[in-house]
Structure 1
Amino acid sequence: MIQIRNAHLHGRDGLHDIEIDGDRFGRVLPAGQGRGEVLLDASGALVGPPFVEPHVHLDTTLTAGEPRWNASGSLWEGIAVWSERKQTLTRADVIARATEVLRWYAANGVLHVRSHVDVTDPGLVALDAMLEVREQVRDVVNVQLVAFPQEGVCSFDDGAELLEEAARRGVDVIGAIPHFEDTREDGVRSLEIAFRLAERHGLLIDAHCDEIDDEQSRFVEVLATLARRGGLRERATASHTTAMGSYNGAYSYKLQRILARSGINLVCNPLANLCLQGRFDAYPKRRGLTQVKEMLAAGVNVAFGHDDVMDPWYPLGTAFPLQVALAGIAAAQLTGAAEIDEAFAMVTSRAARVLNLTDAYGIEPGRPADLVVLPAASPRDAVRRQTRPSHVISRGRVLAETPVTPTRLTWPGREPEHVDFIRERDRGMTPGAPWTPRTPTD
Structure 2
Amino acid sequence: MGAATEASEPVRFKCVALPGVGGAFDVDIAGGRVRSITPSLSGDPVRLLLPAFIDLHLHADRAYAQGPRRARSLEDAVEQVEAVKRAATEEDIFERACKLFRRASAHGTTRLRTHVDIDPVVGWRPLAAVARARRQFEEVLDVSIVAFATAHLDPSSAIGRRTITEAVAGQADMIGTVVPFHEDPTVSLNALLDIATELDVGADLHIDERAGSGYLEELADACLTRKMHGRVTASHCCALATTPPADAARTIDKLAEARMTVIALPALNLHLQDRGSITPRRRGITPVREMLDAGVPVRFGSDNVMDVFYPYGDADPLEAAFLASITAHVDDESALLRGICDGRSRVEEGMEADLVVIEASTWNEAIARRPLPRTVLRRGRRVTVERSGQR
Query: What TM-score results when the alignment is normalised by the length of structure 2?
Result: 0.87
Q: Distance in 1 between matches of 2:156 and 2:219?
A: 18
Task: Trace 1:201-350 onto structure 2 (pairs within 5 A).
Answer: 201-214=199-212, 217-279=213-275, 285-334=281-330, 336=331, 338=332, 340-350=333-343
Kindly indicate whether the alpha-carbon contact (under 8 Å) linking 2:203 and 2:233 is maintained by their aligned counterparts in 1: yes
Q: What does residue 5 of structure 1 align with?
A: 13
Kindly indicate whether the alpha-carbon contact (under 8 Å) linking 1:153 and 1:163 is maintained by their aligned counterparts in 2: no
Task: Trace 1:7-406 onto structure 2 (pairs within 5 A).
Answer: 7-12=16-21, 14-22=23-31, 24-31=32-39, 45-65=47-67, 68-72=68-72, 74-121=73-120, 123-151=123-151, 152-154=153-155, 158-182=159-183, 186-214=184-212, 217-279=213-275, 285-334=281-330, 336=331, 338=332, 340-350=333-343, 364-365=349-350, 367=352, 369-388=353-372, 390-400=374-384
SS at match of 1:193: helix
Query: Root-mean-square deviation (CA), in Å?
Result: 2.7
Kindly indicate whether the alpha-carbon contact (under 8 Å) linking 2:107 and 2:316 is maintained by their aligned counterparts in 1: yes
The CA deviation at 1:281 is 8.0
The CA deviation at 1:70 is 3.8
Return 5+ residue gaps in structure 1 as ranges. Answer: 34-41, 354-360, 402-442
Rg (Cα) greater in structure = 1
Provide, for residues 286-334 of structure 1, a one-character-per-residue CA deviation record: whole Å limited to 9, x for no partner.
2222111111111111111111101110011122222222222221123
Q: Distance in 1 between matches of 2:324 and 2:206?
A: 18
Question: In 2 relative to 1, CA 346–290 (structure 1 residues): closer, same or farther, beyond 3 Å?
Answer: same
Q: Distance in 2 between matches of 1:191 and 1:363?
A: 40
Provide, for residues 98-124 of structure 1, a one-character-per-residue CA deviation record: whole Å limited to 9, x for no partner.
101111111111111110001123622
Q: Distance in 1 between matches of 2:13 and 2:88?
A: 47
Q: Distance in 2 between matches of 1:366 and 1:18?
A: 12
Question: In 2 relative to 1, CA 189–281 (structure 1 residues): closer, same or farther, beyond 3 Å?
Answer: farther
Q: How many residues align?
A: 373
**Amino acid of the structure 1 residue aligned with 2:133:** V
Kindly indicate whether the alpha-carbon contact (under 8 Å) linking 1:3 and 1:17 is maintained by their aligned counterparts in 2: no
The CA deviation at 1:32 is 7.2
**Amino acid of the structure 1 residue aligned with 2:305:** V
Percent sequence identity over matched residues? Answer: 31
The CA deviation at 1:125 is 0.8
Kindly indicate whether the alpha-carbon contact (under 8 Å) linking 2:17 and 2:46 is maintained by their aligned counterparts in 1: yes
Q: Distance in 2 between matches of 1:385 and 1:171?
A: 36
Q: Distance in 2 between matches of 1:281 and 1:266?
A: 30
Provide, for residues 237-262 of structure 1, a one-character-per-residue CA deviation record: whole Å limited to 9, x for no partner.
10001111221112112112111111
**Amino acid of the structure 2 residue aligned with 1:25:** R
Q: Distance in 2 between matches of 1:362 and 1:158?
A: 47
**Amino acid of the structure 2 residue aligned with 1:378:** T
**Amino acid of the structure 2 residue aligned with 1:305:** G
Q: Distance in 2 between matches of 1:43 and 1:171?
A: 43
The CA deviation at 1:146 is 0.5
Return 5+ residue gaps in structure 2 as ranges. Answer: 1-8, 386-391
The CA deviation at 1:170 is 2.7
Question: In 2 relative to 1, CA 26–346 (structure 1 residues): closer, same or farther, beyond 3 Å?
Answer: closer
Q: Distance in 2 between matches of 1:299 and 1:306?
A: 22
